[in-house]
Structure 1
Amino acid sequence: MIPSLFLAHGSPALAIQDTEYTAFLRELGQQWKPKAIVIFTAHWESEVLTLTSTDETYETIYDFYGFPDELYRVAYPAKGSVKLALRLEGLFRERGIEVDTDSARGLDHGSWTLLYKMFPEADIPVIQLSVNPHLPPDKQTAIGEALRGLGEEDILVIGSGVTVHNLRMVNWGQEEPEPWAVEFDDWLIRHTLERDTAALYRYEALAPHSRMAVPRAEHFVPFFLALGSGSEERTPRVIYRGYEFGTLSYLCLQF
C-alpha cells in the first residue's frame, strides 16, 4: 500500500539542483511504482475544486521568472487519465463536494518539479488538482478524505506545498534556519504525530509564529489535503526536514 504524502516543492530550481533534498526525492520515488499520481498543487487556486481530465501529454508550465535558462528547458511530458479523472470526480460528488474538470491546463511547478525528481521517466499518469485557500482546515481535510483508500490501489496522493512559506522573510544564502520557523514546524509535527486535529484546525490561533509562517494559506492547505487522504491506521511520520534561505521549510510528511 502506498501512503499519502505532503511534500515541499520549495524553489523551482530544485528540478536542476543536486542537493540533500533532491537526493531524498529521488530515493523516495524509487520506493514505489504507482499506477497513477494524484497531486494537489498550491500553484493552482480555484473556488471550486478542479482536476485535470485529459489523456494527452501535459504542457510543462513555467510559472516563475528569473531562474537559469537551464530550468526553462526542463520538460515533464507526463500524460493524464480521463478514466481516473472521472472516478475522482465521482468520489468527490459522493461526498457532496462540488468539483469541476479542466482538459487544457498543464502541470505547474508545484507538480512537475517534484515529479521530475521522483519519477523522471514521466511514464505514470498524473491528475493535478487545485486548492481553495479560503476553505477552513476541516473542509480541506474532508476533501482529502474523499480520496482515502487510493493508496491501497497503488495510486499515490500528494499534497504539494510548504509549511513555512513567507517569501518576504527569506534570507538569501542563509543556511541555518530561523528559530521561529523551526518552532512553527515543531508545533505542527507534535500535533500531527498525536493526530490532534482539534489543535491543527486552530493552527492560526495556537501555533507559534503562525502569521509569519503562513501569511497566506495556499501553500499550507495541501498539508490538510494529504492528511485527510492518508490511512487512519498508519501513524503519521516525518520523512524529511530541512530549510533553505533561513525560513523556507522543506518539511515532508507521510500519512
Structure 2
Amino acid sequence: MLPSLFLAHGSPMLAIENTEYTQFLQSLGKQIQPKAIVIFTAHWESDVMTISSVDGEYDTIYDFYGFPDELYQIKYRAKGSPELASRIQQLMSDQGIKTQTNDQRGLDHGSWTLLHRMYPEANIPVVQISVHPFLSPEVQFKIGEALRGLGNEDILIIGSGVTVHNLRRANFNATSIESWAVEFDDWLIDKVESKDYESLFNYRSIAPYAVDAVPRPEHFVPFFIALGSADENHEAKVIYRSYDFGNLSYLCYQF
C-alpha cells in the first residue's frame, strides 16, 4: 500500500538546483514506485474540479517568468491516463462531487517540477487535478476521501502546494527563519499528529499567524486533500522540513 503525500513545490528552481530538498525528492522517488500518479496542483484553479484526461504525452507548462533559460528547456514527457481519469471521476461522482475532464491542458510547474525530480524518466502515467481554493477545508478533505483506497492499488496521490506561502513577505536575502512561519507549521504538525481535524478545519480562526501563512488558500488546500485520501489507520509523519526566503515552507508530509 502506498501512502498519500503532501509535497512543497516552492520555487520552480527546484527543477534545476541541487539542494538538500531536491536530493530528498530524488530519494523519495526511489523509495516509492507507483504504477500511476494522481496529483492535485495549486497552480490549476477551477470552480468545478477538473481532471486531466490527456491521451498521450502532456505539454510542459512554464507558468512563471524571469527564471534562467535552462528552466524553460525542460520537457517533462509524462503520459496521461484517460482510463484512470474516468475512474477518478466516477469515484468523485459517487460522493456527490461535481467534476469535469480536460484532455488538452499540460502539466504546470506545481506538478512537473516535483515529478521531474522524483521520476526523471517520466515513465509513470499521471493524472493532474485542479483545486477549488474557496471550498471549505472539510470539503477539501472529503474530495481526498473519495479517492481513499487507491494507495492499495499502488496509485500515488500527491497534494502539491505549500503550507506557509506568502510571497509578499518573502525575504530573498534572509539568513534566518522567521518565527511566525515556524509557529504556524508547529501548530499544524501538532494537530495532525493528534488527529484534531476539527481544529485543522478551523485553522483560519485559531492557528497562530494563519492569515500571514495562508493569505490565499490555493497552496494550502492540497494538504487537506492529501490528508483526506489517506487510509483511516495511517500514521502521519513529517518527511521533510526546511524554509527558504525567511518563511517559505518546505514542510512535506506522508499520510
Q: TM-score range by the shorter chain?
A: over 0.9
Deviation at 1:114, TM superposition (A): 0.1
Indicate the residue corresponding to 1:251 in structure 2. 251
SS in 2 for 1:156: strand
Pairs within 5 Å for 1:161-240: 161-240=161-240
- Aligned-partner Cα distance in 2 for 1:181–1:92: 34
- Aligned-partner Cα distance in 1 for 2:6–2:198: 19
Deviations 1:34-64 (A, max 9, x none): 1100000000000000010022100000000
Deviation at 1:33, TM superposition (A): 1.5
Deviations 1:136-185 (A, max 9, x none): 00000000000101111000000000000000000003242100000000
Indicate the residue corresponding to 1:128 in structure 2. 128
Provide the alpha-carbon RMSD of the alignment: 0.6
Residue 164 of structure 1 aligns with an amino acid whose one-letter code is V
Unpaired runs of 5+ residues, structure 2, are: none
Percentage of identical aligned residues: 64
Contact 1:144 1:226 survives alignment (8 Å): yes
Pairs within 5 Å for 1:29-108: 29-108=29-108
- Aligned-partner Cα distance in 2 for 1:3–1:176: 32
Residue 3 of structure 1 aligns with an amino acid whose one-letter code is P
- Aligned-partner Cα distance in 1 for 2:170–2:122: 32
SS in 2 for 1:80: coil
| Paired positions, count | 255
Residue 79 of structure 1 aligns with an amino acid whose one-letter code is K
SS in 1 for 2:31: coil
- Aligned-partner Cα distance in 1 for 2:3–2:113: 20
Indicate the residue corresponding to 1:156 in structure 2. 156
Instruction: Output the TM-score relative to the length of structure 1.
Output: 0.99
- Aligned-partner Cα distance in 2 for 1:8–1:32: 17
Residue 10 of structure 2 aligns with an amino acid whose one-letter code is G
Deviation at 1:234, TM superposition (A): 1.4
Contact 2:134 2:217 survives alignment (8 Å): yes
Deviation at 1:243, TM superposition (A): 0.2
SS in 1 for 2:211: helix
Contact 1:175 1:243 survives alignment (8 Å): no
Instruction: Output the TM-score relative to the length of structure 2.
Output: 0.99
Contact 1:175 1:244 survives alignment (8 Å): no
- Aligned-partner Cα distance in 2 for 1:38–1:95: 18
Deviation at 1:232, TM superposition (A): 1.1
Pairs within 5 Å for 1:19-30: 19-30=19-30
SS in 2 for 1:7: strand
Pairs within 5 Å for 1:132-143: 132-143=132-143
Residue 194 of structure 1 aligns with an amino acid whose one-letter code is S
Contact 1:140 1:225 survives alignment (8 Å): yes
- Aligned-partner Cα distance in 1 for 2:20–2:115: 16
Indicate the residue corresponding to 2:16 in structure 1. 16
